[in-house]
A and B are shown apart, each in its own frame.
Chain A
């Protein structure tokens, strides 16, 4: 098997595994640690993966067992990258209509914000880095409850802001789990800090833009700090922030140095 084919097989295995895990059917799989280092031999265990729009389900056949998983909209992105040759019924586009941000499915939109929130939490619990998925899911659930209680009208965190925050973390898995709180507009505010002169905070606006704050040491004048803030689109934010050294304190030690 070529290296590319191995990579594709592993991707298929990973996607199927995530889908199966979404419905807590994963006990037959390897544990998380061995999964993360699984070789192409593991990938060969995927014998079939079909996506059936009429049934709105994903069927994964692994190691001789068939798992039928109901369609979950937030998994649209996970399945978006499945090679077309791997989809045996219709094309993926038939099932998933990509909305703003490129990842949310819209064919079967969730009825309520609560359902959308729960989907995002499920996504975090199953597809985010093991080192912080439980903590982040728990924190967001706690915040959702706090917002609903404190804001009187029963509504929770802005779903679009939350979605952009989650997409950002997915894009940069090297980042450690931030401190998370909610602004008066119910938007997500994430902070990575180390002391008072190393601050990287992002306000995820509902329109997909971000407002950010960076405090970093002034390397030319020890004891002085550089402080700046601004607005950007989330996709270019790290290219703006990285030159200020934010990765020195916003990443885990063992992953620091991973390039941007």
Chain B
């Protein structure tokens, strides 16, 4: 449902372009927004209704392939919602609270969600904090089956 808060126990994934990844490590630039954006786009993993993390990642890889030109070294960052929110609230200079809300795009991207509260003018420090709580990361491009 649009606007529904994603529970702290759940997880979101962020598509990280190749230009924000160095040697497989996701850099803070992956969590920076453009000036025209009002939230940071993510996907609510539990909303994908897949049995496990591997299936969720496969589903996202398929989704990205239809929407984006996926770079060979692009990654998917997985974040726990509660950990992310607590990290930023405790460590940002102004104790920033980041609402993470469901923003479904029907019919193409129903698990789409947004991290709100990141201001363009202080995006660097918030991006640094988010980058420190990446739970795990995966290739954004599905591996091709061996010939």
Q: Which residues of A are at the interface with B, using a C-beta cutoff of 8 A?
A: 139, 143, 146-147, 149-150, 152, 179-185, 189, 191, 196, 199, 201, 203, 211-213, 215, 225, 227-229
Contacts and interface: CB of A to CB of B under 8 A. Distances in A.
B124 A147 contact: no
B128 A181 contact: no
Given A227-B93, A227-B125, A179 B19 contact: no
Given A146-B18, A147-B19, A181 B125 contact: no
B122 to A, nearest CB: 6
16 contacts: A139-B22, A146-B17, A149-B18, A150-B71, A181-B27, A183-B32, A184-B34, A185-B34, A185-B35, A189-B27, A203-B124, A213-B128, A227-B125, A228-B93, A229-B93, A229-B125
Interface of B: 17-22, 25, 27-30, 32-35, 69, 71, 73-74, 91-93, 122, 124-125, 128, 132
B128 A146 contact: no
Contact of A213 (B21, B74, B124): B124
Contacts of A184: 29, 32-34
B113 to A, nearest CB: 19
Contact of A201 (B17, B73, B74, B128): B128
Given A227-B93, A229-B122, A189 B29 contact: yes
Contacts of B27: 179, 181, 189, 191
Interface centre among B19, B27, B69, B125 (most CB of A within 10 A): B19
A191 B28 contact: yes
Nearest to A147: B19
B132 A146 contact: no
A200 B83 CA distance: 23
Nearest to A179: B22
Rank and list the top 7 A-B pairs by shortest CB-CB distance, nearest first.
A181-B27, A146-B18, A182-B19, A229-B125, A181-B29, A146-B19, A184-B34
B69 A189 contact: no
Contacts of B29: 181-184, 189
A227 to B, nearest CB: 6
A182 B124 CA distance: 12
Given A182-B19, A182-B20, A229 B33 contact: no
Contacts of B17: 146, 150
Nearest to A203: B124
B128 A143 contact: no
Contacts of A180: 22
Nearest to A148: B19
Contact of B19 (A181, A211, A215, A228): A181
Given A184-B32, A212-B124, A227-B93, 7 more contacts: A139-B22, A150-B69, A179-B27, A184-B33, A196-B132, A213-B125, A229-B124
A179 B25 contact: yes
Contacts of A196: 132
B140 to A, nearest CB: 11
Contacts of B132: 196
